[in-house]
Structure 1
Amino acid sequence: MDVIEEKRLDKKGYRLHVIPSKKYKTTNVVVKLKAGLERDTITKRALLPYILQQGTNKYPSARELRTALDDLYGAVLGVDGSKKGENHVITLRLETANEAYLSTDEQILERAVEMLSSILFDPKSDGNSFDASIVNREKQTLKQKIDSIIDDKMSYANMRMIDEMCKDEAYRLHVHGYTEDLEDINEETLYHYYQKMLAEDQMDVYVLGDVSVEKAEGLIESAFAPKQRASSAESKKTIVEQTIEDVNTVVEEQNVQQAKLHLGYRTNITFGDPLYYALQVFNGLFGGFPSSKLFMNVREKHSLAYYAASRIESHKGLLLVFSGIAPKDFQKARDIINEQMALMKEGKFTEEELKDTKDLVVNQLLETMDHPQGLIEILYHQVLAETDVSPDQMIERVKHVTREDVLLVGEKIEQDTVYFLTSKGGSRNE
């Protein structure tokens, strides 16, 4: 793979990351705004990405903004929010054409940076409040998004499991916010929170593409520095380790045909830990790939599940199992899932399975890095974990994971919560 070189520069109020690369036909500029998860602010933060995409003072409607993006050789804008550990991250992405591939003398990257700056720092407002019609419309959009989660039973079951598993932790907070908060949010209160976000969030700016460090630094400096504050907020320390006395089993009944059995484990390992790479391999062997124990045993061998898989939450130290089963199969499916975890802890996997899984994890990383946005996400993990491991070092660490490393991971993993969403009147003991 190509060597990925990231140049980090601490600036006034933000940190700049420049990744020069001739690999991509586009140039990507990404802004990350990070703050701790708080119940009082999560719905405002969830709403802001919707507002920021609806226009700026220069392009005061969504249509005018989209036209301006089209005029910029089909530039693509994305704004969203996500949970990373017990932090909430708002991301603005602008992908534009690489000037080298176009027969024009236009300063495309300069225009793109200016546009992204105006979306972030100069959204449509009167200097004291957002546009009321935009806020009211986007509140409805967000409400529909929140309400729709109950219709996606897999997402709903995962959300409810986290509710129960992390009930006393900030991680329980819903990334899309809460409908009961929307009534009290208006164009003024949201604008005042937006100003607070700009003043206090930790900001990281990424420029990835065929561009020199000096050019990227100059463009971002001129567009961002005058708008931003002098200091960033402290990172919120994520709660990782919890004492588990008894596994919490939660059964919920709804009008469903396919039941959802989700299990939550504490791994006590996060992205910055030396064992993190062994955790990736452990998860791959357990439930991360179609060759995994969960897929082969719960789904294929016993035909108990429509799907059965696991994934890890890198910055919270969780391993989550998802399965869709018949309501009557709760006990049998749970027992087989528990059996697969016990086999993992005992090291019941072959050297060939270990090697194949390491190859799959490496290939997954390489595929992610093949996409500009995926590479930026991997690099941002370093910021969140306050570590400094290059992408090629990450791959080497996966390759060097041993059986003993995987067994050490197994020693740290503890089951915390079982969540079962089943049909009304369905019995989990059948």
Structure 2
Amino acid sequence: MNETAPAPTAPLRARAEIDLGALRANVRTLRALAPGAALMAVVKSDAYGHGAVPCARAAVGAGATWLGTATPEEALDLRARAGLPAGVRIMCWLWTPGGPWREAVEADLDMSLSDMWALREVVAAARAAGLPARVQLKADTGLGRNGCQPGDDWAELVGEALRAEAGGLLRITGLWSHFACADEPGHPSVDAQLALFREMVAYAEGQGVRPEVRHIANSPATLTRPDSHFDLVRTGIAVYGVSPIPEQGSSADFGLRPVMTLKASVALVKQVPGGHGVSYGHHYVTPGTTTLGLIPVGYADGIPRHASGTGPVLVGGKWRTVAGRVAMDQFVVDLGGDEPEPGAEAILFGPGDRGEPTAEDWAQAAGTIAYEIVTRIGTRVPRVYVNEDVPVEDEAALIDRVVPGYESDDAAQGRDGKRSGT
């Protein structure tokens, strides 16, 4: 995983600046949108490429009381390294047979169960550990991935989990599911899944399940479907300031600020004649005398090769476009005769404040989604954390930029002894 790096004293080949002040502001914005629910910050895949431990700490500092990972290994690492306050829950949901169930029980993780094999394995682990396991039962309400099917399968899983709970081997802490098309507001599957989830929850509770949390809302549902919030919302990409519904609104439209800014230092600037081929395959040939700039990142760093010829970069205050193919370690931009000094800053994407492209611009260029753009930035690119410790008054000002009139919890408590803005 990426560790916190101090601000460099000399320019780096490349760097991903992670603005933890923006992340905290995003968490507070999302909490304000779901005031009746707890908030889970999903930090799977190294916090979508942003760095799991620093982002988890920042999210908890802004009021997240749950953290979510995909794999148990991610969750165990987070529990071991993050130094989280007591009471912060960590949930993981992607299990395979023979997984580290006992370690997860002993680490007090919440473990998702979708099938009887998983229930049998967690019960055996709880017996071996001499501790009850915390488990959440996942319902497949229509996504067709993980989760237990409604009907007899759900009845069997619920029944056997209750028997294990009665035997002191586990505690059923949650009932949950996941939307398939929440990023398409108005899609009929959203209402259908929500109705089925209510039915499956009602059945489980009718049998005696008393969950701490019921949850189905992901980032897009948190933003657009308050009727799906239940007891907990699971916010992933929105925590990192990327719009999960770009067709419906940008990050700014939802009061979010992108957390990652990807920069590189221009490695070489040279003049070439017209008709000069650029990069592998000569898919770009200079139309006339021009200058080329070498940007020292490539697909080994997570720059999508599919963005060859289309990816945008800000160099010298102007948008440039990848000229020719993205190679493993580098790509070229046509500077149109401009001659920035070697070492000049090239911004691949960021919040857009300086006119730079955003992750969504790269997603459009590569024919993918912005989730993939930020998540794929590799470990060869150091993460440099900024705004790690922001005074309350400064944090309130940052929040006010994205949610006008909103006060931080600490600032509000200092003013009148109670929370505001939720």
**TM-score range, shorter-chain basis?**
under 0.3
Identify, as 1 or 2, the structure richer in helix: 1
Larger relative CO (CA 8 A, sep 6+): 1 or 2?
Answer: 1
Q: Give me the TM-score of the superposition, normalised by structure 2.
A: 0.23
Q: Give me the TM-score of the superposition, normalised by structure 1.
A: 0.23
